[in-house]
Amino acid sequence: MTTSPQNDPAVVEAASALLTEMKGVSVSLVYAAFLTDDGFDVARLPSRVTDGPRFASMASSMQALSDAVAHELRIGGSEYLIISSLNGYVIQLRVPGSLMVLSALFDNDATVGAALALTRTYAARMTGIVGG
Amino acid sequence: MGAGMTTAIKALSEIEVVSTEANNSERDVVDKPTTTVALDYGEIVLSNDEKIRMYGIPGQRRFDFMWAILKTRAEGMVLLVNNDAENPIAEMLAFVEDFRELCYKGGVVVGVSRSEIAPQPTTGEFARALAEVHPELTVPIFTLDPRSKDQMQMALLTLIVNLEMRETFGEAGVQQA
């Protein structure tokens, strides 16, 4: 049986390091987490805005629902999802080729394009670590 | 987890079921490849303007935000309990507590699954445990196989009859029946 990402110390450490680096690159990044497909926290930035494990579960539900909508509408697999709100937005996408998801909350000082590009970059870097 | 919720919705639904399955990383808890992380959705059409909408939601507590969304809108619930779980009676009682309002309006049927693998506890033991904690509650309890359309329909019909009797006669009507 393979070790799940949340129980693999090497993956957890690498994911934590990537998130810390991501936060260093963007001052607009409020919160970010790597999570498993089925809603377990792998690593997250320290935060007062949310309970990490609970957010991981919600994020995995959102991911699955967006996949279900894309499937229903026959538009292919969902690539990313964005929740835009008054005080910020969430960008979420799969770590390519893996069963992990990167979800990130940005404040309104960043543009959606820049935030999406950054999130994509770090999801792809995670692929380099976990394989894909 | 592992009680057969997705299977049950698939057995009952007349439309293609909307599923939100994800890779299960808790294979040490329940050895199945995928698990539902948001909901399963299916429908039974009753007439041109009536249908039963069925939402299957995950039982793991970490998804309790989905429970909160659905329990305020649901008319009734078939609570599937995996009899092969470590403590199925405790699980049932915990869910009855979490869905207390729905239970007390007569909107719950308990379906005990996997009893062919784990025959104990019996439905009688489930009923006695429930009566001890909630003596005023009337909840039908069945053993069932979620793969069986007939058995799932029986559970669903029981739920509907229970709800309709409540609506027509009030609580007393259900207890006399």
Domains of chain A, CATH where assigned:
5-130 (3.30.450.30)
B177 pLDDT above the threshold of 50: no
Which chain B residue's Cα is nearest to A55? B62
Region B5-176: CATH code: 3.40.50.300
pLDDT digits over B65-114, tens only?
999 888 888 999 999 999 999 999 999 999 999 999 999 888 999 999 99
**Nearest Cα residue to B171 out of B120, B115, B107:** B107
Q: Do B169 and B129 meet the contact criterion of CB atoms below 8 Å apart?
A: no
Please report residues of B whose CB lies closer than 8 A to that of A37. Answer: 22-23, 25, 37
Which chain A residue's Cα is nearest to B34? A38
Residue B140 and residue A97: Cα distance in Å, rounded? 46
Question: Which of B23, B25, B36 is best to mutate for the A interface (most A CBs within 10 A)?
Answer: B25
ipTM: 0.77
**Nearest Cα residue to B27 out of B55, B53, B61, B2:** B2
Which chain B residue's Cα is nearest to A66? B20
What is the number of other CB atoms lying within 10 angstroms of the CB of residue B163?
Answer: 18
Residue B157: pLDDT band with limits 50, 70, 90: very high
Strand ranges inside chain A, DSSP E: 29-36, 41-44, 80-85, 88-94, 100-106
What pLDDT is stored for residue B173 in this prediction?
47
Stretch A114-127: mean pLDDT, rounded? 96
3-class DSSP state of B44? strand
| Lowest-confidence segment of A91-95, A112-116, B15-19, B165-169 by average pLDDT | B165-169
**Nearest Cα residue to B36 out of A72, A92, A89, A64:** A64
